[in-house]
């Protein structure tokens, strides 16, 4: 059985080779290209299971590639791991805002990257949800169809926006979402939500959720996540 297809977009040949070598050894089926333009083309053509995308590329940057792929409904579902320069918080935030699903800072240990790849492929799989209509996280239960939330067995009355934010955060436990991503997730409804007001909404959400509200964590300088 062939392993998952992983597209690598990296202009530094030695890094691309290191990635290909390690991914192949783990049973994946990697392909490497060395420019953003090629990355876009091959991604649209082959629809890989995952994309490892370098941020610093000549001409078309990794951020721009990420934005374009996430803006296109046919490729938006391809999970993206962004490779960023070490400790550049701005890069990491920009990557998340462009729609990246995770990031690894250079220089990286192959072991760390492989763990992220594995986690992302697992989390990205739609089959992991038992019931499409129900989500559960620790003491929180969310009924999507009925629009009901239970905290520790008690029903919680939430506004539509609060419900959507909770649903969004719970869709990927442990995942960090920026305020802008949260705004985007509730976008299209009749509720005007700005980045600032996300903080207000989350504060209200936490308060209403009582003890379960503690699972909604603030990630300083980035946004919010559900659980650790
Ligand atoms: Ca590069």
Q: Both 82 and 149 in a single domain?
A: no
Could you report the per-residue pLDDT of 113-170, keeping only the tens digit for each?
999 999 888 875 443 334 457 888 889 999 887 788 999 889 999 887 888 899 889 9
Q: Both 145 and 123 in a single domain?
A: no
Q: What is the pLDDT of residue 128?
A: 34
Q: Which two tokens stand for residue 173?
A: 């436990």
With contact defined as beta carbons under 8 Å apart, do 121 and 79 qualify? Answer: yes
pTM for this entry: 0.58
Could you report the per-residue pLDDT of 187-227, keeping only the tens digit for each?
644 445 567 778 888 999 999 999 999 999 999 888 999 99
Report CA(54)–ligand 1 centroid distance (Å). Answer: 6
Report CA(33)–ligand 1 centroid distance (Å). Answer: 12
Q: What is the pLDDT of residue 39?
A: 97
Q: Structural domain of residue 39, as residue ranges?
A: 5-127
Q: Both 37 and 96 in a single domain?
A: yes
Which range of 1-15, 34-48, 154-168 scores highest in mean pLDDT? It is 34-48
Q: Both 93 and 167 in a single domain?
A: no
Report CA(55)–ligand 1 centroid distance (Å). Answer: 6
How far, in Å, CA of 148 to CA of 197, rounded? 23
CATH number of domain containing 153: 1.10.10.10
């Amino acid at each position: 059985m062939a392993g998952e297809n992983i597209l690598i977009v990296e202009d530094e040949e030695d890094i691309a080779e290191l990635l290909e070598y390690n991914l192949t050894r783990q049973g994946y089926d990697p392909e490497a290209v060395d420019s953003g333009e090629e990355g876009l083309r091959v991604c649209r053509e082959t629809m890989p299971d995952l994309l490892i995308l370098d941020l610093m590329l000549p001409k078309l940057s990794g951020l721009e590639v990420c934005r374009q792929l996430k803006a296109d409904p046919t490729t938006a579902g391809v999970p993206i791991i962004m490779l960023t320069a070490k400790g550049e918080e701005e890069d990491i935030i920009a990557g998340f805002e462009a729609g990246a699903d995770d990031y690894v800072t250079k220089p990286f240990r192959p072991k760390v990257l492989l763990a992220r790849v594995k986690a992302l492929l697992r989390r990205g799989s739609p089959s992991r949800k038992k019931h499409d209509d129900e989500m559960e996280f620790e003491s929180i239960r969310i009924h999507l169809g009925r629009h009901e939330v239970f905290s520790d067995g008690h029903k919680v009355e939430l506004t539509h926006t609060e419900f959507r934010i909770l649903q969004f955060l719970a869709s990927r436990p442990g995942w960090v979402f920026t305020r802008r991503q949260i705004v985007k997730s509730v976008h299209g409804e009749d509720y005007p939500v700005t980045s600032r007001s996300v903080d207000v909404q989350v504060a209200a959400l936490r308060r209403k959720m009582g003890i379960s509200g503690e699972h909604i964590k603030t990630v300083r300088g980035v946004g919010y996540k559900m659980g650790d």
